[in-house]
Copies of this chain bind each other. A is one copy, B any other.
């Protein structure tokens, strides 16, 4: 397989994976393109490479920046904006974990905390079932939250090292 084809394959696969995980396919593809490109790219470059419109490229890039995955670069003597992605995979994973925690985990934890407080007759199966499910999910959410916290503070090698000690 030649490099251009391989890049294309990667962009497609990354886009597909993204869309399966609730991330806009185009956003994942722009990210993928920047991951496999050594130079920073202009909006123009990205539009051309992925055959998308200016508006789409612009919004997607801003979105990627809000996720902390892409940054602007300015080249001396040029007005155009260039974009590049952090290529450190561990940083990417942490950044995604951080954002999803903030955007999705925190809100649901807030709701679960409310629901756990709901009082009722423990003898009543409907209440008991509700309470058990909500309480258990809340506990798991808190476990996930603590684990993410560890991950966010950790160095990659230490993190996976600790995980793999679990095998022994």
Given A22-B20, A38-B129, A126-B3: A167 in contact with B139 (beta carbons within 8 A): no
Residues of the B chain whose Cβ atoms lie less than 8 Å from the Cβ of A16: 108
Known: A36-B134, A89-B140, A93-B140. A127 touches B3 (CB 8 A): yes
Output the least CB separation between A123 and chain B (Å): 12
Q: Are A37 and B126 in contact, with the CB atoms below 8 A?
A: yes
CB-CB contacts below 8 Å: A132-168 with B: 132-134, 136-137, 139-140, 143, 146-147, 150, 154, 159-160, 162-167
Name A28-73 residues within 8 Å CB distance of B: 35-39
Q: Which residue of B lies closest to A135 (CB)?
A: B89
Whether, in the assembled complex, A7 has its beta carbon less than 8 Å from a beta carbon of chain B, the answer is: yes
Interface string of A1-20 (1 = CB under 8 A from B): 11100110110010011011
Q: A108 is contacted by which of B13, B38, B104 (Cβ under 8 Å)?
A: B13
Q: What are the residues of chain B within 8 A of A80 when measuring CB–CB?
A: none
Residues from chain B with a CB closer than 8 A to the CB of A112 are 13
Q: Is the CB of A163 within 8 A of B143?
A: yes
Q: Assess the A150–B167 pair: CB atoms within 8 A.
A: yes
Whether the Cβ atoms of B143 and A160 lie closer than 8 Å is: yes
Bound together, the chains give a CA A7 to CA B3 distance in angstroms of 53
A166-B162 contact, Cβ under 8 Å, with A22-B21, A118-B1 = yes
